[in-house]
Amino acid sequence: LHDLGIPCVVITSISFPSEPDTITLLASLVHSANGGEGGARKERVKMNVKKLPQSFTGTGDLIAALLLAWFQRGADLKTVVEYATATVQAVLSKTLQASDGSVRSRELQLIASRDQIANPQVPDSLRAERLP
């Protein structure tokens, strides 16, 4: 995708048979040098996240919005991925706490999570690994 001119690619929810309880996220960002002329610098990160016992609707939209918001604030790729993923996990945790098992109760608890959205706390388990 980078060869097609797309500078940032994020792939979420990758599941490998060898790690059935884990979701992997991969992200890659190409910084063009000199306004697109000359060489380019690449950033790549990987993060593994423990799968939760329930499925949710809207997490893709949420992480896309969070990635965009943190990029707009000027954060580097690793920080963007960590903040966005930590925020999604915090929202999902709050949603699980509020759930009574019905489909309606699985609605993402965005308002109740506004503090975590504004000020994400990244636990050590959600630190991204820089890739070569």
Catalytic residues: 61
The closest of 49, 50, 3, 62 to 28, measured between CA atoms, is 3
